[in-house]
Structure formats: C-alpha cells, structure tokens
Amino acid sequence: MKALAEAAVDAALGAGASYADARTVLLRRQFVITKNGQVDDLSDSESEGIGVRVLVNGAWGFAGEGRLDEAAAREAALRATTFARAAPGHHETSLAPVDAQSGEYRTPVERDPFAVPLSEKIDLCLRAEEGMRQPDVKVTLAMVRAQREHKVLISSEGTAVEQELVECGGGIDAYASAEGITQIRSYPSQHSGVSGQGGWEFVEGLSLDKEAPRVGEQAAALLRADECPSGRATIVLSPEQVVMQVHESVGHPTELDRIYGTEAAYAGTSFLSPDDLGSLRYGSDRMNVTSDATTPNGLGTFGFDDEGVPARREPIVEEGVLRGFLTSRETAARIGAGEGGSMRADGWSRMPLVRMTNLHLEPSEGSLEDLLAEVDDGLYLETNKSWSIDDKRLNFQFGTQIAWEIKKGKLGRMLRDATYTGKTPVFWGKLDAVAGPDAWQLFGLTNCGKGQPGQEAHVSHGAAPARFRDVEVGVSA
C-alpha cells in the first residue's frame, strides 16, 4: 500500500503538482439487522482504493481509483492534476506548515468484531427484539455493525503514516401503533444505534437485550401519553439529546471551511465569522465544549487526521466564549492560527473535508436528579426523533421520542411528540446547569453528512444532562 501511494505522489509531482498526498484505504463493513424476528440484513462489504489529492498552481485536484495497482495509482494522480490545471477561478491555496509525520496508530481492540461468529450477532439481535415485544408494538428491530478501516497516507512533504481504525456498535427500535398513532422508542439512540471505536466488547457493553423490555414498554405507553403542550418552559435534556444539540449548533458552525463558505450551496454556512474567535459569547458561562481526537472509544479518534496532522485536544468554547474552530491546514493558514487536525475523508473516493472528530460538552457537577430538583415546572426530553437547523446554524427545531413533565423537582406524566426550538447563541445562553462526570456519556454517530459528493463522517460526542431556562416548546403543524 505504501509503495502505491508513493507512486501516486511521485506521478503527481512529475505532472507539475506543487503538493500531493495519496491515501490507500481498505474498508470492511458488516451489518446484522433483524426485524420482527427475521434476519432482515446480513451483509459484509469491502472496498479498497486510492485517493490522490494535488495542488497545481494553487488549485486542488482529486481523483479516486478503485483498482489498487501502480498503473492505476499513477493514472489517478494524472487525472487529479489535469482537473486541477483546468480548474476555473483564481486560486491562492496555501497550507499551514506541519512537521512531516511518521508512525502508526491502531484502535485498541480486546475482541475482534469480525472474529465474532455471525450466529452470535444474530442471536443477540433476536434476543433484544424478543425483549421489546408488547401487544401494541408492531415492529421491533435490532442492529449490530462492525467496521475496520486500514489506511496509509503519504504526502509530498514526507509524511508517511499507517492507521487501522476498528469500530462497532448496535441499537434497537420499537415501533408501537394503535388508532392512527405511531410512536418509536430507541436505545441507545435513534440514529442507527450508537457506535464506538474498539472491539466487540463495546457492543457487549451496550446491553441491548437488557434495555429491550423498557424500550418496548415505553413505545407502547407513548400511545396513551398526552401530547407535549405548547409554550415556554424550563427543559432538561438527556445526554443523547444534548449531543445532537452540540453536533448541530456547535460542531457544524465551528467548521472553518463552512465559515469561509465552501458548503454554502449545500449544508450551508455559519453565523460565526473568523473575527469572532476569542470574543463571541456563544452561551452562558456553564458552556464548555472541547474537540478531542484522543477520546477513548470515540469514532473521531485517530493518530493522525487525513492530512497527517497528529490528533489533539483543543477548546472550542470556554465558559461560554468561542475559543477555537475545527480546521484544516488550508483554513488554518487562511485564518493565520493553528495547523489543522480535523480533516477526514469518507473512504478512498472522497476528498478530505473539515469534520468534527469527538466534540464534547464538558461535565460540571451533580446528577440528573440534582438538575430536576431545581425545576418547579418544566419538561425532561429524551432521545432525539427529529432535527433541523437553518443554513447558518441559527434557527433549530428538535423533536424527542419521549418526554416527561417535571413538577416540583420530580418527573411526572409521560408526554409524546415533544419538540423545542430556538436560536443557537440565545439558546446556549439559557444553559444554567450541566450534570457532572458520573452522568457524562459518549455517543458515536455514523450519519453526519457533508460535502458534494456527499460524505458520511463517524463522530462522537460526550455530554451529561443539561438544563435550559425559558425555551419555546410544543411546536406543531
């Protein structure tokens, strides 16, 4: 693999590139999905190829090639340089200087998820499904997955790194329906469950089968729950919902390529500007957000990003003030600070983009019960169901699968179809409590979309329950 990548870089330089890097990627993915007691999907896919990125006269070129031989690698390099040379516009790309890196990184794995028999995975899914069955539960679904990505990065600046990232995960869903109402409950998350880097021990730690009865019972109970009322309320969010809030309203807006407009036509830009760094009040002084590509079990954990920049931990928001952006070498050079470290590509056929790695809301103190105790009348919202945010990441609306009234510091009746809405810095300004480290949980999501052609990044977020005052709730059609 290393020799192929070196050949591609040599070919690109020979064709006039001032900079080139090449990534060879071998990717294997396995899914086991059961639904209503049947095996719904049992698939095992692999993909290999090389992605060659070049700079010619300041313009980027990129070509991906699925054949892994030297001729194909060189051909991809030439196609990338041809494209860069033909690229319209005035180009002034420069890259923040980074020391050439060499080394290896491998995810610590106790039990190789690909060595676990498929029959064991199926049994786990069917057991979890069985646990969710209730009279009104019409659909039960269980899923486990595993992924291994081996990649080598070679650059014309002397970087040569090799990494093997292993991840796995799982989740369960119960759909209940009766009399024209359909409700869903999921665990640990609606978004294809939760994944983390590590071996099969990560999936075992999710205890899907043990949580299943609660999930099924709550799905059925939601059919008879009252609708969430409309108005303004103090809300307490579960950690899984907090991470969605962090992802959409902190992660994406702090991607510096978006701030410079490169996603404007698709995912949008950001309400932030480069000048806001160090001065913009993002939220209350309880808000501390950190980007950390070293988090154990994080899906955004690596030794080096896809530009060869070593993993790092950096503050994004400190006591409510914007302190950092997620950057590439190009955007770091443009803003004149940092050296990148957040460049990630979806496989070999996509160009690296600025992506979240692991982005956390730092814990404070106390427990969920402590947060609830200081609410006289409010709502506790759990497990994301719907999510939408505007193109500058200001106006958002989220729905959750389940909610409960909070009355005099205690959880009361169950509510369905809960939604809340707000504008990002105003909402974060209403954060008045975050629970402590014991309540902090890590969630890995595999469906973060960005770029054209589209790329899905796997990212993790950690959060503890958090409380926000005076929030608009109960938005309806």
Partner 1 sequence: MSRALDLAEEALRATEGDEAEAVVHAERSGVARFAGSVVHQPTLIDNAVVRLRVVRDGKLGWAATNKVEAGGLAELARRAAEAAESARPDPDFPGLAPRAEYPKVPGYDEETAALGAEDQARLAATAIEAVPDFELYGYFTSGVTEIALASTTGLRADQAVTDAVCICLAAVEGASGWAEQTSWEAAGVDTAAAAREAAEVAARTRGAGELEPGTYRAVLEPCAVAELLRWFSYDSLGAHGFLEDRSYFCGRIGERAFDPKVSIADDALDGDNLPKAFDFEGTPKQRVDLVEEGVIRGVVWDRLTAARAGDGQVSTGHAPPDAWRFQGPLPTALTLGPGEAGSTEELTALVGDGIHVTRLHYLSVVDPREGVLTGMTRDGTFRIRDGELAEPLVNLRFTVSLADVLREIPGLGRELKLVNLNDLYDERFPYAALVPALATARFHITGTGSGPGL
Residues 114-153 interacting with partner 1 (rule: CB under 8 A) = 117-119, 122, 138-139
Contact pattern from residue 282 through residue 321 relative to partner 1, giving x for each residue in contact according to CB under 8 A and a dash for the rest: ----------------------------------------
| Number of residues written out for the chain | 477
Residue 94 interacts with partner 1 (CB under 8 A): yes or no:
no
Is 392 a binding residue for partner 1 by CB under 8 A? The answer is yes
Q: Half-sphere exposure (CA, 13 Å, Cβ side) for 97?
A: 1
Q: Which segment (37-45, 99-107, 201-209, 234-242) binds partner 1 by CB under 8 A? A: 37-45
Interface with partner 1, residue 169, by CB under 8 A: no
Check residue 17 and report its DSSP letter: -
From 11, 20, 80, 235, residue interacting with partner 1 (rule: CB under 8 A): 80
Alpha carbons 102 and 455: distance in angstroms, whole number: 27
Say how many C-beta atoms besides its own lie within 10 A of residue 111's C-beta. 14
Q: How far apart are CA 246 and CA 107, in angstroms?
A: 25
Residue among 47, 57, 284, 441 that touches partner 1 (CB under 8 A): 47
Which of the ranges 6-14, 199-207, 301-309, 449-457 carries the binding residues for partner 1, by CB under 8 A?
449-457
Q: How far is CA 467 from CA 60, 111, 280, 367, 401, in A?
A: 45, 38, 22, 11, 18
Among 3, 14, 46, 229, binds partner 1 (CB under 8 A): 46
From 14, 66, 231, 412, residue interacting with partner 1 (rule: CB under 8 A): 66
Q: Which is nearer to partner 1, 215 or 464 (CB)?
A: 215
Nearer to partner 1, 87 or 411 (CB): 87
The residues near 129 (Cβ < 8 Å, ≥ 6 apart) are 34, 35, 36, 37, 140, 141, 142, 172, 212
DSSP state, residue 276: G
Residue of the chain from 14, 41, 158, 231 that contacts partner 1 (CB under 8 A): 41
Concatenating the DSSP letter of every residue in 184-234 gives EEEES-TTTSEEEES-THHHHHH-HHHHHHHHHHHHHHHTTSEEPPPEEEE
The CA distance from 243 to 264, in Å, is: 24
Nearest distance in Å: CB 114, partner 1: 10
Name the minimum Å distance from CB 200 to partner 1: 16
* Beta-strand relationship, 160-178 and 181-187: antiparallel
- Nearest approach, Cβ of 434 to partner 1 (angstroms)? 26
Beta carbon of residue 397, minimum distance to partner 1 (angstroms, whole number): 5
Q: Which residues contact 40 (CB under 8 A, 6 or more apart)?
A: 33, 34, 141
Smaller CB separation from partner 1, 227 or 369: 227
Cβ 83 to partner 1 shortest distance, Å = 4
Shortest distance in whole angstroms from residue 362 CB to partner 1:
27
Task: Find tokens 């600070």 and name the residue.
Answer: 337
Neighbouring CB atoms inside 10 A of 202's CB total 24
Give the range of 34-42, 279-287, 310-318, 374-382 binding partner 1 by CB under 8 A: 34-42
Q: Quick one: which of 6, 150, 157, 177 contacts partner 1 (CB under 8 A)?
A: 177
Written in H, E and C, the secondary structure of 234-261 is EEEECHHHHHHHHHHHHHHHHEHHHHCC
Interface residue with partner 1 among 21, 65, 240, 305 (CB under 8 A) is: 65
The minimum distance between CB 47 and partner 1, in angstroms, equals 5
Q: Residues 254-273 vs partner 1: string with x where CB under 8 A?
A: ------xxxxxxx-xx-x--
- The correct pick among 100, 388, 412, 413 for binding partner 1 (CB under 8 A) is 388
The correct pick among 10, 18, 57, 83 for binding partner 1 (CB under 8 A) is 83
CB nearer partner 1, residue 397 or residue 441: 397
Footprint (CB under 8 A) of partner 1, residues 221-260? 260
The enclosing H or E element of 372 equals helix 368-373
Query: Using CB under 8 A, which residues numbered 345 to 374 contact partner 1?
Result: 349-351, 353
Q: What angle do CA 371, 385, 316 make, to 5 degrees?
A: 60
60 contributes a contact to partner 1 by CB under 8 A: yes
Nearer to partner 1, 62 or 440 (CB): 62
Interaction with partner 1 in 394-423: which residues (CB under 8 A)? 394-395, 397, 399, 417, 419, 421, 423
Question: Is 241 within 8 Å of 363 (Cβ atoms)?
Answer: no
CB nearer partner 1, residue 44 or residue 70: 44
For residue 294, give the 3-state DSSP assignment: coil
- Separation of CA 54 from chain center: 27
